[in-house]
Structure 1
Amino acid sequence: MLSTISPVLPKPVVKVTPDQRVFRGETVTLTCDIQGGGNIQWTYSWFKDGSVIRRVTERVYTITSVSDNSGKYSCRGERSDSQRSDISAAVTLTVSARPKPVVKVTPDQRVFRGETVTLTCDIQRGGNIQRTYSWFKDASVIPHVTERVYTITSVSDNSGEYSCRGERSDSQRSDTSAAVTLTVSVSPKAVVTVRPDERVFRGETVTLRCDIKWGGDTEWTYRWETEGTNYQYTNSVSRISTQELNIRSVDHFHSGKYTCTGQMGTQSSQRSDAVTLTVSGEFVLRVSPQPWLTEGDSVTLICEVTGSSTGWTFSWFRDDDHLSDSSRGAGGSYTLSPAALQHTGVYTCRAERGRAAYYTKYSVSASVSLVVSPSRSQHFSSDSLSLSCEDQSNSTGWSVRRYTDRNTEDCSKLTGSTCRIDSLNTSDAGVYWCQSESGEKRHPLNITVHDGDVILLSSVDPVIEGDTLTLHCLHRSTNSSILRADFYKDRSLVQNQTTGEMNITTVSKSHEGLYYCKTERGQSLHSWISVRVSGSGQISVFNILSSLLAACPYLLATVVLLFKCCRARGKTSV
């Protein structure tokens, strides 16, 4: 019995080049490889998803610019004698959109000159295929840059539009990324502004603001620095990171140079120019047109804010009562015309700017003398001071009163008509005068107390016209004159002395003004030196400049106006 053996049909294999996963627009080649088919001439049939592909009979099937060609592909061979091979196993061809790179920029697309910028070409859904990269600036290829990460150190003229593209080893390319704009600019400079002014008085509230003009949306953080006299305060300022630096109840140690810088991630602005904040107490009340008051004369009291005239509102008081007669008050002046005995009283000028109010002190001399020991207007803190009311006939019934920190009070250590302060404090600064039991006020004097190391030694009373004015610069530790000192009047250098002493012979009214001295050890407070015309029977009115009181943001301008009536026959009465 014969048996029939059926021949084994050859099995084709489909090979795909470059890959079974391709991008739209690429060219794909499918090859039908009949293994064990020998050198027989074959014709081929191609199938997609089980359906024959018409008019394709070659062993190699090429699809150019693939798009909607995803599917399962298989093939079969047929000999001239109509013998066919098996159908190959299907291979899956996946066509997807070409990957689109994205350029990422670190730290930001807006950078400052000198910074380092990193650009990364990120091909999304690109798999782990090895690629080389092309970088473009303003659509032109950047030579010699083939890495995924492109780093530019110390940028300068690198502003432009940057894009990238990836390329596989089989020369298949990704799309070109959308361009990102890199902007390189000069680091902006911070600017410090001060409200209400760079020259302020103790007790005011000061606001320093750091502004940086820059077009980005990122928030800045700020760093403040100051060159001042108080080391602890300087350190505390350097820790403040807000745009505004607020100083409430400003004091002398806040004086100094302030700067700021902005920080935005790794970026820094340029440091601002320094703004000098000056805290002083130079607030003066003076009499115009001349310092003599006689009943019937016209007298004008003038408030002046030295070195700062913006934003002030002035008001006037007599014996602590507000003067409602606004027709006589104009800005920083108050006029009495004609002056009469009923105008006698203590006049106060108040200057306001913002929340705080400031005052100066002003007074007159009289027959009863207030004797000060040591006899000078400026004193060191912790020193002792004695003040006594003395009269040629009898000092009984007179006591020492003072006006400090907006309060009128008896001297705290009063024995009879003598006041003694064993250890001075800056809160003891103020106007001191003699007051009788009936309320008469005589010989007010200004006393200032300094925490520093240098004071100006000058007469506590006005200088008589024609006399010699002698000023000394005194040091705390030695209580003696400093050999090298500069003397100033109204902020201008008058004399540079190596003896520590300045003399002005034959004093005149032109020598009136604000005096202070400066040495390598420090600077004194300012004192008003008045010049009085020698006369008889009339009351001399002189200026007294007071420093701001340490305990309170109030500086008081007080004038005690007393009038002497001159009769035609030379008789006088008060």
Structure 2
Amino acid sequence: MKEIILFSFLSAVGATLVIQPNTSQFFWYESITLTCGEAGSPDGWLLKRNTSAHTSQMCNSDWGVSSSATRSSCVIKDAYPPDSGVYWCQSELGENSHSVNVTVTAGDVILKSPALPVTEGDAVTLLCAAKEVKSGKAAPDSSAKFYKDGVFLGNQSAGSVAFSKVSKSDEGFYSCELPVEGKSPQSWLAVQARAEPPPLVPMPRLVCAVLLFVLHVVMFTVCVSVHRHLAKARADSKKGASPER
């Protein structure tokens, strides 16, 4: 079966799409859980997907079980290759979250790679896994070849590639190959920049800002006090100038 790779250019806004387990490749009959939102606040968001056969499809009995009345989460109990596609969250106003690419293969090898973006500096491990016929679960192989963007990276005796501190240059399409079972589909490893803390204000500039603020407060207080005294003086002078009856 030919590998299906789908892309979605969706704006990242309020909701977050969470996938469990956090991997982009699955074997037949594996379970996948997708949820919109964090900390149990998915109100107003719908889980949708694009596949080779359907566009903007919501979770339904044909392919998943919705675990909430709002259809903000979905469990695919027995995944099939037609479930391969792009999944995302959409609000009632048409706003979209980031998207997640999911590949369900009928083959014997998958690459366990994070489906969600990783952050620069994080430790990331890519695992080449073979399907065990008896249990139907993925198990790591002792030796594997790894590829990035179609280019051979090398043999790994442990069946995995580890990045102690992943960088933007590590972003790309990865796949692996086992000697007997064959090659996995390829998956995109997304690396996002680490959020930089706001720059610190230099001490002299901070002191000047504080002094200016204090000066403005003092000037305002003085102006208010002078205005009150002048108003009181005018009132007293008018009262003194009034003729007695």
TM normalised by structure 1 equals 0.30
1:545 corresponds to which residue? none
SS of the equivalent of 2:56 reads strand
Taking a change above 3 Å as real, the CA distance of residues 460 and 365 of structure 1, as seen in their structure-2 partners, is: farther
1:113-159 Cα shifts (integer Å, max 9, x gaps): xxxxxxxxxxxxxxxxxxxxxxxxxxxxxxxxxxxxxxxxxxxxxxx
Q: Which amino acid aligns with 2:81?
A: T
* 1:530 aligns to 2:190 (yes or no): yes
Structure with higher RCO (Cα < 8 A, 6+ apart): 2
1:174-202 Cα shifts (integer Å, max 9, x gaps): xxxxxxxxxxxxxxxxxxxxxxxxxxxxx
How many residues get paired?
184
Q: Which amino acid aligns with 1:394?
A: S
Taking a change above 3 Å as real, the CA distance of residues 534 and 445 of structure 1, as seen in their structure-2 partners, is: same
> Aligned-pair distance for 1:361?
3.5
1:374 corresponds to which residue? 21
In 2, Cα distance between equivalents of 1:471 and 1:421? 23
> Aligned-pair distance for 1:513?
1.1
1:517 corresponds to which residue? 176
2:159 corresponds to which residue? 500
1:429 corresponds to which residue? 84
> Aligned-pair distance for 1:469?
2.2
Give matches, 1:203-282, under 5 Å.
Answer: 252=2, 281=4
Please say if residues 381 and 450 of structure 1, whose CA atoms lie closer than 8 Å, have aligned partners that are also in contact.
Answer: yes
1:445 corresponds to which residue? 100
In 2, Cα distance between equivalents of 1:363 and 1:470? 27
Taking a change above 3 Å as real, the CA distance of residues 281 and 398 of structure 1, as seen in their structure-2 partners, is: closer
1:388 corresponds to which residue? 35
> Aligned-pair distance for 1:393?
6.7
In 1, Cα distance between equivalents of 2:67 and 2:159? 37
In 1, Cα distance between equivalents of 2:73 and 2:110? 25
1:426-481 Cα shifts (integer Å, max 9, x gaps): 11111111122232211311111111011000111112112222100111215221
RMSD between superposed Cα atoms in Å = 2.2
1:408 corresponds to which residue? 56
In 1, Cα distance between equivalents of 2:4 and 2:80? 17
Identity of aligned residues (%): 36
SS of the equivalent of 2:139 reads coil
Please say if residues 4 and 103 of structure 2, whose CA atoms lie closer than 8 Å, have aligned partners that are also in contact.
Answer: no
**Mind listing any 5+ residue stretches in structure 1 that lack a counterpart?**
1-250, 253-279, 283-358, 538-574
SS of the equivalent of 1:427 reads helix
Please say if residues 4 and 84 of structure 2, whose CA atoms lie closer than 8 Å, have aligned partners that are also in contact.
Answer: no
Structure of greater Rg = 1
Q: Which amino acid aligns with 1:382?
A: Y
Q: Which amino acid aligns with 1:415?
A: S
2:148 corresponds to which residue? 489
1:455 corresponds to which residue? 110
In 1, Cα distance between equivalents of 2:84 and 2:4? 12
Higher strand share: 1
Taking a change above 3 Å as real, the CA distance of residues 281 and 425 of structure 1, as seen in their structure-2 partners, is: closer
Segments of 4+ moved more than 3 angstroms:
359-367
2:208 corresponds to which residue? none
Please say if residues 367 and 391 of structure 1, whose CA atoms lie closer than 8 Å, have aligned partners that are also in contact.
Answer: no
Please say if residues 24 and 115 of structure 2, whose CA atoms lie closer than 8 Å, have aligned partners that are also in contact.
Answer: yes
> Aligned-pair distance for 1:505?
2.4
In 1, Cα distance between equivalents of 2:73 and 2:40? 16
Please say if residues 363 and 445 of structure 1, whose CA atoms lie closer than 8 Å, have aligned partners that are also in contact.
Answer: no
Give matches, 1:29-428, under 5 Å.
Answer: 252=2, 281=4, 360-392=7-39, 394-405=41-52, 406-412=54-60, 413-416=65-68, 417-428=72-83
In 1, Cα distance between equivalents of 2:14 and 2:144? 36
Higher helix share: 2
**Mind listing any 5+ residue stretches in structure 2 that lack a counterpart?**
198-245
